[in-house]
Structure 1
Amino acid sequence: MLDKAVAILRAVAHEPATLADLVERAALPRATAHRLAVALEGHRLLRRTPAGAWAPGPALAELSHGSVDLAQVAGRHLVALRDASGESAQFYVREGGSRVCVAAAERTSGLRDTVPVGARLPMTAGSAAHALLAFAPAEEVTPLLPSASFTARTLLDVRRRGWAHSVAEREAGVASLSAPVRDPAGAVLGAVSISGPVERLGRRPSPEVVGAVLETAAAIARAAS
């Protein structure tokens, strides 16, 4: 199976590949090629282009010697976001059907929402899930919607405005605000997020807080490119 996974990675090394391309280049059955490509995408070794083809994912670059450590880069920017917003800040990456917190900057005092580094949360609730799924192919999103706390319209709104907001989706009394971090080709590398009590963050986030989250997402994207 490892040899087949490597064949898939080699098949996209020089140019993006559709499923039909993977079948031809890797000489694999269609079902096998699709299963492996989805698994590799879940580990961020592959990514989807805006056209839906598979291409090398950000984890390949992160594993290379001397490459940018996305979690480390995000962590530095989260400290500034926490200080600017007054709320706990996190950075999530998608791993299959879950999102994993790989960096965080916690509010140092008062009531706060704590998400430890390494926490694995579902892709069916919370603004970070919205941000991670908003630009994903429909075949990845549709199976999640029946059990999700949001709708396809929610994701359309995220694509339109560039940020996501949720209230009490993941945990009662907690609100969050997130934005996708995208590479130059448009692939989503992760999602930057702030979270805190609804009473403080609000049911409608202020333009200043939205701006701070968007600026942080853009800064992480620049540093990672």
Structure 2
Amino acid sequence: MSSRTKGWGVAIAACLGIWLVQNGSEDVTPPMPSAAQAFAAGPNAHTDAAADPLPPSEPVRLRIPEIDVDTPMTSLGLTARGALDVPPADDRNLAGWYRNGTTPGAKGTAIVAGHVDNARGPAVFYALGALKKGNRIEVDRRDGRTAVFTIDAVEVYENEDFPDTKVYGEAGRAELRVITCGGGFSQKSGYQGNVVAFGHLIGVR
């Protein structure tokens, strides 16, 4: 992994939390994945075989039916510090993909990020931590194909323990990472970590 990818988790972890600060209550914190959804709990009993990777093509829309996500996609670059940028905070229903990396459905590890909330309330990936192994993620691509992924695990990491290689490392098949803020929450500094959903390509429509 190149040094340019170091610190991505910190960049995503910095996303807002303003809504929680305004509410001043832990009752509105987003769902966190249970231990049963982690890799350590074992593989998904219904995991489908990996599909052959597709040629690169930009993603235009992402859907996660189980948590009612249906979002357009925008491209993301890196900040001046070399960290992954985030989508505009004022659009609650917008996810971004790392344009200098793998496109979803192509061979390698595609990275998608989005906010958990903004000043007005829950945002696109507020419920990401509620996903379970075997849930599906669908990505519409500019070439007219839809890449279908199954979730292999959903894990949460504190900033200081973010596993860069595990999340961003290269893969020999078409894989997907969907990332948002999570972990503990501080009224002073916001979210202390990230929720990451890991998936792999199982089909194409």
Normalized against structure 2, the TM-score is what? Answer: 0.29
Q: Which has the larger radius of gyration?
A: 1
Which gives a bigger RCO, structure 1 or 2 (Cα 8 Å, sep 6+)?
2
- State the TM-score, normalizing by the size of structure 1: 0.28
Between Structure 1 and Structure 2, which shows a larger proportion of helix residues? Answer: 1
